[in-house]
C-alpha cells in the first residue's frame, strides 16, 4: 500500500468521525457546508472527493439516526413529570462515588452514579419492555459489577448527556435481581484483590497502581486527582493503546521462547488481549486500542504487515459505526490523537533528538510521550480550559516507570486472587516507581497553569501554541549553518 493511499484511508475515517461529531455537537445544518467542501476537494483530489463526502454524510446520518432513537422512545413521555417509576436495569459500568456538594450551606451527601441499560419500565401498573441506555444515580454506596440486574424505583429526568435517554434518580434502595455472570465476577474479583493489595501500601503511590494497570481510580483521593490533572498526567489512569502495546509486546517476547508457530502465538495473544479488555472495562480508548490490535493481529496471521495508520483509521470507523456517540467523547478523541501523534511524529522527533543526545534508544523512548502530546494539546486545552506548561516535561519524566509498572502490575493482578502474598509482594516491588510518578505529579501541580477558554477557543489556543512551537524550531533550523 502506497504512502498516499495510507493517508487517504486515514482521512476517510476522519471524515466519518467529523460527520458524526458535527451532528452531535451542532445541528443538522452542517450539511450546508458539503457544497463548498465538495468544490475544494474536487480541486484537491478529484478521484477521492466523492468518497470523502460520502463518508462525511454517512457519519452524520449515523449520529442523526441515533439521536432520533434517543429522543423518541418509551421513556421520553415520563421525563421531568415527577412520576414514580420502577425499572429493571442491567448495569453497564462500575458505579462511581461522587463528591459531597455544598448547596446553599447544606452539604449534600455524595451519590453513586452508573451507566445502565433499561430492561423494563413499570409505571402506574403499565409494564413496558425496552432496551435503552440510561444513567442512574442513588444515595447508597453501590458496588455492583457490570452485568448485574437491579430493580430501582425513582423519578426520571432529562439530562444533557447525549448517549442516554434520561437520568433515573433512585428513591430508596435498589434490589439485585440477578448477579453478574461468571466472567464479570471473575474480573471483578481480580480488580478487587489488586485494589486490596494496593491499599496495603497506604499511600498515594499504592492507590495509583490500580489506575495505572487497570484504570481503576476508586482509591485515588480528590486532591490527588486534581494534582494529576494540573501536571498533565491524568491520561495515565485511563487504559489506552499504550497499555495494550506494552502487554502485547511483552506477551509476544515471552511466547517466542516456548512456541515456534506464529499463528499459535497470535491466537494466544488475541485471547489474552480479549481478556484484558474485559478486565479493564471496554471504555472508548480501550475499544479503539482493542480493534486496532485485532486488525494488526489478523494481518500478521495472514502473513502481511499491517500499517498502523490505516489500522487506526479502520478502528475509528468501526467504533463510530457501532456507537456514533464515541465521536463526541473526549477520552476517545484524546486516545486517537495520542496514537496518531505517535504514528506520525515519533520517528521524526527521535531523529531530531539524536542531534542533541547521542543515545538513539533513549531518544526513541523520549520521543513517545512528546509525539503523543502533540495532537492531544488542543483537545486537552479545550476540555480543561487550562494549559500546563510542564505537562510535556512531566510525561517525559514518568515514561520510564510506565512499562515496568504495567507489566509487573498485570502479574500482580493475576496473582492476587490465587496467592495474595505474591500479589502484595509484586505491588510493593513497583510501589517506588509509582511513588516517583506521584512526586512528579506533586511538583508539576505546583507550577501555575495558563488559563484558557474552554471549547473551540481553547482548542484554537492550543493549536496556536503548537504552531508557535513549530515556528520557533523552524527558525532555529533556518539559522543553523
Residue 244 contacts residue 238 (beta carbons within 8 Å) = no
From the list 162, 147, 84, the residue with the least C-alpha distance to 116 is 147
For the chain, the structural domain boundaries read 3-71, 76-180, 186-479
In angstroms, the CA 97 to CA 87 distance is 21
pLDDT number for residue 431: 93
Query: 387 near 405, Cβ under 8 Å?
Result: no
231 touches 394 (CB < 8 A)? yes
Distances in whole angstroms, Cα of residue 351 to Cα of each of 213, 361, 364: 30, 11, 8
Each residue's pLDDT expressed in tens, for the chain with a length of 481 residues: 555 666 777 888 888 888 888 787 765 555 555 555 655 555 555 666 777 777 888 888 888 888 777 777 888 888 888 888 899 999 988 888 776 666 555 656 678 888 899 898 888 778 888 888 899 998 888 888 888 999 999 999 988 887 888 899 988 888 999 888 888 888 888 888 999 999 998 888 999 999 888 888 888 888 888 888 888 787 788 776 667 777 877 787 788 888 888 778 878 877 888 888 888 887 766 777 777 666 666 665 655 555 677 878 888 888 888 888 888 887 778 778 777 887 778 788 888 878 777 777 677 767 777 777 777 777 777 777 777 778 778 888 888 888 889 889 999 999 988 888 999 999 999 999 999 999 999 998 888 777 766 665 655 665 666 655 555 555 444 444 4
State the pLDDT at residue 227: 86
What b/e readout covers 446-462, taking b as 16+ CB neighbours within 10 angstroms?
eeebeebeeeeebbebb
Q: How many CA atoms lie within 13 A of 264 on its CB side?
A: 7
Residue 69: predicted pLDDT: 77
Q: Look-up: residue for cell 477558554?
A: 453
Q: Are 23 and 63 in contact (CB under 8 A)?
A: yes
- Residues 6 or more apart whose CB falls under 8 angstroms from that of 224 comprise 204, 207, 208, 438, 441
Q: Which CATH architecture has domain 76-180?
A: Beta Barrel (2.40)
Assigned C-alpha cell, 350: 527521535
Amino acid at each position: 500500500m502506497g504512502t498516499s493511499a495510507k493517508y487517504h484511508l486515514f482521512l476517510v475515517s476522519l471524515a466519518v468521525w467529523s460527520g458524526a461529531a458535527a451532528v452531535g455537537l451542532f445541528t443538522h445544518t452542517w450539511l450546508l457546508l458539503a457544497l463548498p467542501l465538495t468544490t475544494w476537494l474536487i480541486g484537491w483530489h478529484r478521484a477521492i472527493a466523492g468518497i470523502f463526502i460520502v463518508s462525511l454524510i454517512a457519519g452524520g446520518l449515523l449520529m442523526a439516526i441515533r439521536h432520533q432513537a434517543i429522543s423518541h422512545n418509551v421513556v421520553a413521555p415520563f421525563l421531568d413529570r415527577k412520576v414514580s417509576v420502577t425499572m429493571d436495569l442491567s448495569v453497564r459500568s462500575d458505579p462511581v462515588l461522587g463528591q459531597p456538594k455544598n448547596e446553599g450551606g447544606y452539604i449534600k451527601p455524595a451519590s453513586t452514579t452508573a451507566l445502565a441499560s433499561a430492561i423494563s419500565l413499570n409505571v402506574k401498573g403499565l409494564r413496558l419492555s425496552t432496551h435503552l441506555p440510561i444513567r442512574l444515580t442513588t444515595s447508597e454506596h453501590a458496588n455492583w459489577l457490570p452485568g448485574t440486574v437491579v430493580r430501582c424505583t425513582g423519578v426520571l429526568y432529562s439530562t444533557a448527556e447525549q448517549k442516554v435517554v434520561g437520568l433515573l434518580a433512585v428513591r430508596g434502595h435498589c434490589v439485585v435481581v440477578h448477579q453478574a455472570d461468571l466472567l464479570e465476577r471473575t474480573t471483578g474479583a481480580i480488580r478487587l484483590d489488586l485494589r486490596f493489595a494496593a491499599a496495603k501500601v497506604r499511600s498515594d503511590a499504592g492507590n495509583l497502581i490500580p489506575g495505572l494497570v487497570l484504570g481503576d481510580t476508586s482509591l485515588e483521593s480528590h486532591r490527588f486527582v486534581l494534582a494529576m490533572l494540573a501536571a498533565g498526567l491524568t491520561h495515565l489512569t485511563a487504559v489506552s493503546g499504550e497499555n495494550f502495546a506494552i502487554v502485547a509486546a511483552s506477551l509476544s517476547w515471552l511466547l517466542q521462547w516456548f512456541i515456534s508457530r506464529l499463528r499459535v502465538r497470535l491466537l494466544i495473544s488475541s485471547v489474552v488481549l480479549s481478556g484484558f479488555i474485559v478486565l479493564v472495562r471496554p471504555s472508548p480508548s480501550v475499544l479503539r486500542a482493542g480493534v486496532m490490535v485485532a486488525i494488526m493481529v489478523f494481518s500478521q496471521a495472514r502473513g502481511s504487515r499491517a500499517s498502523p495508520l490505516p489500522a487506526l483509521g479502520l478502528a475509528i470507523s468501526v467504533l463510530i459505526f457501532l456507537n456514533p456517540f464515541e465521536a463526541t467523547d473526549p477520552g476517545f478523541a484524546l486516545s486517537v490523537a495520542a496514537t496518531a501523534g505517535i504514528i506520525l511524529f515519533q520517528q521524526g522527533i527521535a531523529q531530531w533528538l539524536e542531534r542533541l543526545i547521542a543515545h538513539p534508544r533513549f531518544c526513541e523512548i523520549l520521543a513517545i510521550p512528546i509525539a503523543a502530546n502533540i495532537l492531544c494539546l488542543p483537545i486537552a486545552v479545550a476540555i480543561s480550559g487550562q494549559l500546563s506548561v510542564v505537562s510535556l516535561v512531566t510525561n517525559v519524566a514518568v515514561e520510564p516507570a510506565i512499562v515496568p509498572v504495567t507489566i509487573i502490575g498485570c502479574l500482580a493482578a493475576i496473582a492476587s486472587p490465587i496467592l495474595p502474598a505474591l500479589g502484595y509482594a509484586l505491588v510493593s516491588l513497583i510501589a517506588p516507581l509509582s511513588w516517583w510518578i506521584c512526586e512528579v505529579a506533586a511538583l508539576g501541580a505546583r507550577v501555575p497553569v495558563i488559563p484558557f477558554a474552554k471549547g473551540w477557543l481553547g482548542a484554537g489556543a492550543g493549536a496556536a501554541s503548537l504552531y508557535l512551537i513549530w515556528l520557533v524550531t523552524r527558525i532555529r533550523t533556518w539559522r543553523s549553518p
